[in-house]
A and B are shown apart, each in its own frame.
Chain A
Amino acid sequence: MCRAQGDAVAGRRGWRLPGTLLLLLAYVGYLLLGSTAFWALEGPAERHSAQQLLQGKWELLGNYTCLKGPALERLIQDIIKAYKSGLTLQGNSTSLGRWDFDGSFFFSISAITTIGYGNLSPSTVSAQIFCIFFALFGIPLNLILLNRIGQLMLSGVQRCAKRLGEKLRWQEAAAILTRTCALVTGLLLFLLLPPFLFSVIEGWTYAEGFYYSFVTLSTIGFGDYVIGMNPDLTYPSWYKNLVSVWILFGMAWLALVINLCITLLENSSDLCQCGKKTSKGLEQELMDCNKNCSPRPDDVENGSSKDTKPEGAN
């Protein structure tokens, strides 16, 4: 039985790897496809917007002694519109290049992760329609990838718990210990430490960085703070890539934690409903995790609802 298990594990891992790599490749490829499309669709419109804004400003400079209220209001509206498409006035030019490849790539990420900052958003009709279809298939793709990452995290934690349990000869305590550790590590790595990085590179305060981290990872994505958008700063080349990786893993981790909260909430709200087969109590699940791979009759039934319960993130 042990040997068969071992073989099975190896076989499964061997099977998993192409699957996960393929998924990652597909994901990155999809993002690249999107970035190219947005770059092509929005670039020209952006240049036009920039020209309009500059012209408005020159008119203002030329005529300011004869300026009336309405003209100023118009300029303000132009500034607002330009800001929404990611342009800002800088001296005699505008900060062009928001819809360059980099910007489009980040926009594609913000779309399919459903963060949706909005500091950059498509203004042409064709880009908007493309955005709809791009997100329609991109969001499920993103969900699958995040789920895969979450499962990898969970299985890692469970493996650690098992090994620790073997050393301590006390499975339950090991389980609780590893899960608490995992939760704390996740908290540090994804929510408490990144604000330091942001305060160094972006110049935000710690609280602002923390707020930004949470808003991003929970996919709320207000867009009031966005990394890499300050035209006065120069960013190191690894910065945006690191942040993208952080977003991916952080979202997977936060999803696991939110899953846990939901399990708790739904368990407490289902208490009044007897006779309904709900997910087992949390303790029961903890015990289950420690058992080896032996399918139980009710597992088969609850199959798909059981395995991504965040026992590992407890």
Chain B
Amino acid sequence: MCSDKILTGLLAVSYAIYLLLGAIVFRALEKNEELEQKRAVIQMKVAFLQNLAHLTEADVEQFVKNLTDAVQRGVYPVGNESQAEDSNWDLCNSFFFVAAMVSTIGYGTLCPKTVAGQIFCVFFASFGIPFTIVFLHRVSKMLFLPCERLGRCLYERGMRKKKIKFLTLLFFLVMGILVFLCLPSVVFQVMEGWSYSEGFYFAFITLSTIGFGDYVVDKQPDRNYPSYYRFLVAIWIIFGLVWIAFLFNLLTTLLEDTEKKIAQNLHKRGKAGKDNEENRKRYQPAGFVSAEEPSLLGSGDAQKTVSLAAHLGDAKQVETIFSL
């Protein structure tokens, strides 16, 4: 038990160091390029404003086109010359960029523009994504402690196992929705000035790792954020990712069961006959895995595939936790 905790601690520390290293490298690769581009665009803007009287309509058209190009390249020509010196690639932003990348959320508000940065991104993520999944897998064990405790408590009170299972599952879902989706939405409403639905939408899009990037926390220049804000958001993302992974796992299992039933019905109708009955009997029981025929019987296979959210769910783990 003790060594388990030490191992988890080591894992967490090495993960943080990995992210930090990545952040430093990205900052080194990207900062200068970004500053140059920003300077160029803002100079263009200033020149435009200074020369208004001498410009023709065609010039203005060209200027607007240049602005549009800049926006498309991701350089936002807001502000004036003094703001051109603030790079987006300071250490803090780099760190959050790296974190968003390895969790596969990938907002895209900040992304590498140099070739070196892009290639480094590929190799860094190739190792970083599995690393993240392993790390979150460890974290998931912490997340289930309250559910286990509740289950044990109810068991001692003499409740039936099936009922305990149902109740702990319900507890898990409801508490999760409150703590990871509803509560943060209120916080974002206060801190970011979004509406409640926007906050909820942002929370869900982030935790499911879709990460559109249309809403991002901590990015509005005219707001004051407390220093612990980012740290809280990071904690929320870590645990929220784990929780939603299990939620998706449950839904996946549900869908797979439905699909199995429908496929079985089709099979019944398609092929009648004793042979087929025998075949079906041979292949039904769970857990018989042949090297040749990968098991159709899901029971949580699907979450083993892609997507961070998917990979964390493990049907066996969910079962053991919810059924003592």
Q: Which residue of A lies closest to B133 (CB)?
A: A262
**Given the complex of chains A and B, what is the CA–CA distance between A292 and B309 in angstroms?**
33
Binary A-proximity of B60-81 (CB < 8 A = 1, otherwise 0): 1100110110011010111000
- Which of A4, A144, A205, A259 touches B252 (beta carbons < 8 Å)? A144
Q: Which residues of B contact A308 (CB under 8 A)?
A: 294, 301, 304-305
Q: Are B64 and A89 in contact (CB under 8 A)?
A: yes
Q: Are A224 and B111 in contact (CB under 8 A)?
A: yes
- Name the residue among A89, A222, A288 with the largest chain B CB count within 10 angstroms: A222
Interface presence of B11 (CB below 8 A):
yes
Q: Are A18 and B72 in contact (CB under 8 A)?
A: no
Q: Are B267 and A15 in contact (CB under 8 A)?
A: yes
Q: Are A80 and B76 in contact (CB under 8 A)?
A: yes
With A125-B197, A272-B3, A295-B288 given, is the CB distance from A151 to B251 under 8 Å?
Answer: no
**B contact residues, range:** 35 or more
Within B226-258, which residues are at the interface with A (CB < 8 Å)?
Answer: 248, 251-252, 254-256
Q: Are A89 and B68 in contact (CB under 8 A)?
A: yes
- Which of A7, A129, A221 touches B106 (beta carbons < 8 Å)? A221
**Given the complex of chains A and B, what is the CA–CA distance between A114 and B60 in angstroms?**
40
Q: Which residues of B contact A283 (CB under 8 A)?
A: none
With A135-B210, A158-B291, A158-B292 given, is the CB distance from A83 to B108 under 8 Å?
Answer: no
Interface of A is mostly: helix
Q: Are B251 and A140 in contact (CB under 8 A)?
A: yes
Binary B-proximity of A139-150 (CB < 8 A = 1, otherwise 0): 111111011001
Q: Which residues of B contact A300 (CB under 8 A)?
A: 287-288
Q: Are B119 and A304 in contact (CB under 8 A)?
A: no
Q: Which residue of A lies closest to B73 (CB)?
A: A224
With A23-B259, A143-B307, A305-B314 given, is the CB distance from A16 to B49 under 8 Å?
Answer: no
Q: Which residues of B contact A79 (CB under 8 A)?
A: 64, 67-68, 71
**Given the complex of chains A and B, what is the CA–CA distance between A136 and B177 in angstroms?**
13
Interface presence of A252 (CB below 8 A):
yes
Among A33-41, A42-50, A206-214, A237-245, the stretch that binds chain B is A206-214
Interface presence of B275 (CB below 8 A):
yes
Q: Which residue of B lies closest to A309 (CB)?
A: B304
Q: Are B214 and A121 in contact (CB under 8 A)?
A: yes
Binary A-proximity of B182-215 (CB < 8 A = 1, otherwise 0): 0000000000000101101100110011111110
Binary B-proximity of A83-100 (CB < 8 A = 1, otherwise 0): 110001101000000000
Q: Are A76 and B134 in contact (CB under 8 A)?
A: no
Q: Which residues of A contact B298 (CB under 8 A)?
A: 144, 147, 304
Q: Which residues of B contact A29 (CB under 8 A)?
A: none
CB distance from B147 to the nearest CB of A (A): 21
Interface presence of A102 (CB below 8 A):
no
CB distance from B249 to the nearest CB of A (A): 8
With A128-B198, A222-B108 given, is the CB distance from A258 to B129 under 8 Å?
Answer: yes
Q: Which residues of A contact B126 (CB under 8 A)?
A: 214, 261
- Which of A76, A211, A261 touches B121 (beta carbons < 8 Å)? A211
Q: Which residues of A contact B122 (CB under 8 A)?
A: 210-211, 214-215
Q: Are A159 and B310 in contact (CB under 8 A)?
A: no
Q: Which residues of A contact B213 (CB under 8 A)?
A: 116, 118, 121, 222-223
Interface presence of B300 (CB below 8 A):
yes
- Which of B134, B212, B276, B308 touches A117 (beta carbons < 8 Å)? B212
**Given the complex of chains A and B, what is the CA–CA distance between A224 and B305 in angstroms?**
25
**Given the complex of chains A and B, what is the CA–CA distance between A65 and B279 in angstroms?**
83
Within A210-249, which residues are at the interface with B (CB < 8 Å)?
Answer: 210-211, 214-215, 218-224
Q: Are B208 and A135 in contact (CB under 8 A)?
A: yes
With A67-B52, A118-B211, A220-B125 given, is the CB distance from A8 to B295 under 8 Å?
Answer: no
Within A261-290, which residues are at the interface with B (CB < 8 Å)?
Answer: 261-262, 265-266, 269, 272-273, 288-290
**Given the complex of chains A and B, what is the CA–CA distance between A14 and B211 in angstroms?**
39
Q: Are A207 and B208 in contact (CB under 8 A)?
A: no
Interface presence of A60 (CB below 8 A):
yes
**Given the complex of chains A and B, what is the CA–CA distance between A19 and B294 in angstroms?**
14
- Which of A4, A135, A266, A307 touches B295 (beta carbons < 8 Å)? A307
Q: Are B248 and A139 in contact (CB under 8 A)?
A: yes
**Given the complex of chains A and B, what is the CA–CA distance between A40 and B131 in angstroms?**
41
Instruction: Give me the 3 closest cross-chain CB pairs, A-B, nearest first.
Output: A293-B290, A303-B287, A255-B306
Q: Give A residues with C-beta under 8 Å from B.
A: 4, 7-9, 11-12, 14-16, 18-19, 22-23, 26, 57, 60-61, 64-65, 67, 69, 72-73, 75-77, 79-80, 83-84, 88-89, 91, 110-111, 113-118, 121, 123, 125, 128-129, 131-132, 135-137, 139-144, 146-147, 150-151, 154-155, 158-159, 162, 205, 207-208, 210-211, 214-215, 218-224, 251-252, 254-256, 258-259, 261-262, 265-266, 269, 272-273, 288-295, 299-301, 303-308
